[in-house]
Amino acid sequence: MDEFIAKLMELNIGSVKENEPLANHTTMKIGGPADLFIEPSSIENVKKTMELINKDHLKWTAIGRGSNLLVSDQGIEGVVIKLGTKLAGLEINGDVIKVGGGHSLVSLSTQISRKGFSGLEFASGIPGSVGGAVYMNAGAHGSDISKVLTKALILFEDGALEWLTNEEMLFSYRTSILQKIRPGIVVEAEFQLKEGDKEIIYAEMQKNKDYRKETQPWNFPCAGSIFRNPLPNYAGKLIEDAGLKGFAIGGAKVSEMHGNFIVNTGNAKASDVLALIQHIKETILNLYDIKIETEVEIMGRK
C-alpha cells in the first residue's frame, strides 16, 4: 500500500488519508476506518486513481455524501473513493444542466429552482450527492432521477469513462445498472428540465421540505429510508402497524416519527443497526408474510 500511496502523491491526485474513520463521512455517523481514503480533485484524477487500483489489484468502494450508507464497525478494506466538493461543478445551458457527481442534490434543486427550472422539486429534501442519487435512482413525492436524467458519465472498473443514456442506465425502483450488473462511479450527470413559474416551483419545494421536517427524524443521525417499499405496501406503515416504532437495540432505534427510519441515538454501532434491521425483517415476515429488503447500502468488513 505504501508504494500505491507514493504513486498517488506523485500524481497529485487529491486528498489521501490512511485509516480514515468513515463515521466522519456518513449521515448516520457510524462506520470503522477505510484502509485508504481518497478524495480526488477532478474527474481525470478519479480515472487515474481507478487505473492505479486496477494495476495493483486493490479492492475499491465509492461513496458520496454517505446519506444512504451503513458502514460496518470493522470499516472497509482497500480503497474508498469519495466524490466531494471538487467534483461538484455545474453548467447550465438553457433547460439542460450538467453537474458533477459530488454536487449536493439539495443544493442543486435549490439553485435550479431559483432560476425558474422545474423537475428537481422532489429532490429538495434528499440529503445525498448527485452521483449517489443517479446510482440508486433516488426519488420522493412521486418522482425520481429517471424522470429527468438524460445521460450519466460513468467511470467503470476497467478505467473506461462512458456516457450512458437514460435507457442504458436500466432504471427501476431505487435501482440502476450500476448496482449489480455493471459497477461504476457516476462522475457527472446531465438533466433535462422545464422552464416554469419560480413561485410555483418554490412553493412545491417548500412543501416537500416541510413534509420531510414534519415526518422524518433528520434531527438525529440517520441514513434515510432503511427498507424498500414492498409495493403496494409501504415499509414504514408495516413497521408502525407491527408496533416497532421506538424499539431499540443498543444505540440504534426505530424512529418514533417514521417507521422506515433507524436513528443513531448517540452511541450506536453498525452491529446494533444490523441487529435491528434483522429483527424488523423477521417481525414483518412473521406477522404479514411479507419479505422486506434494505434500501440502505450496507458496506464493509463483516
| 225 included as an active-site residue | yes
Grid cell for residue 116: 425558474
| 10 included as an active-site residue | no
Catalytic residue among 104, 113, 118, 225: 225
| 295 included as an active-site residue | yes
Catalytic residue among 72, 109, 174, 188: 174
Catalytic residue among 20, 121, 188, 295: 295
Which own/partner contact pairs does 233-239 have at CB distance under 8 Å and 24+ positions apart? 233/288, 233/290, 234/260, 235/259, 235/260, 235/292, 236/260, 236/261, 238/284, 238/288, 238/290, 238/292, 239/280, 239/284
Residue 195: strand pairing partners = 117
Task: Specify whether the CB–CB gap between 135 and 229 falls below 8 A.
Answer: no
DSSP code per residue over 101-117: TTSBHHHHHHHHHHTTE
**What is the three-class DSSP state of 148?**
coil
Write the single-letter amino acid at 167.
E
**Starting at the edge strand that comes first in sequence, how are the strands of the sheet with 262-264 ordered?**
248-249, 252-254, 262-264
Cite the active site residues: 174, 225, 295
